[in-house]
Amino acid sequence: MYVRQCIESGYVSSAGPFVGRFEDAFAQVVGAPHAVACASGTAALHVALQLSGEQPPRMVAVSTFTFIASANAATYTGAQLLLVDSEPDTWNMNTQMLRDHTVRSARMGKRIPDVIEVVHVLGHPADMEPLWELRDRFGITIVEDAAESLGAGWKSGTLAGQHTGTAGQMGCFSFNGNKIVTSGGGGMIVTADADLAAKARHLTTQAKKPGEVYVHDAVGYNYRLTNLAAALGLAQLERLPQRLRSKRAIAAAYNALLGDLPITLPPRAPWATPSHWLYTVLLRKRFESDELVAAMAANGIQMRRVWAPLHRQPPYRKTEILGGGEVADDLYWRGVSLPSSAHLDAAQQNEVCEAFRQTVLASTRRR
Ligand SMILES: *Cc1c(COP(=O)(O)O)cnc(C)c1O
**Atom 8 of ligand 1, residue of closest alpha carbon:** 176
Centre of ligand 1 to C-alpha 42, Å, is 6
Centre of ligand 1 to C-alpha 109, Å, is 34
Rg, C-alpha atoms of the chain: 21
**DSSP secondary structure letters along 74-114:** HHHTTPEEEEE-B-TTTSSB-HHHHHHHHHHHHHTT----S
- Which residues are CB-neighbours of 163 under 8 A, at least 6 positions away? 29, 30, 31, 32, 152, 153
Instruction: Please give the pLDDT value at position 367.
Output: 65
Helix (H, G, I), strand (E, B) or coil at 55: coil
Atom of ligand 1 nearest to the CA of 185: 7
* 128 closest CA partner among 158, 172, 152: 158
Divide the 367 residues of the chain into consecutive groups of 10 and give the mean pLDDT of each group. Answer: 79 79 98 98 98 90 98 98 97 98 97 97 97 97 98 96 98 95 95 98 91 87 95 96 95 96 96 96 90 93 96 98 97 96 92 94 80
Centre of ligand 1 to C-alpha 355, Å, is 30
Centre of ligand 1 to C-alpha 312, Å, is 18
**Atom 7 of ligand 1, residue of closest alpha carbon:** 41
For residues 341 and 335, what is the distance between their CA atoms, to the nearest angstrom? 18
DSSP symbol at 300 = T
Q: Helices in the chain by DSSP H: which ranges?
A: 2-9, 18-30, 41-50, 69-76, 95-107, 129-138, 194-204, 227-237, 240-258, 288-298, 326-334, 346-366
Instruction: Please give the pLDDT value at position 185.
Output: 95
336 and 281 Cβ atoms separated by less than 8 Å:
yes
Ligand 1, from 174, 278, 337, 340: best to mutate by most atoms within 8 Å of Cβ?
174
Q: How far is CA 205 from the centre of its chain?
A: 24
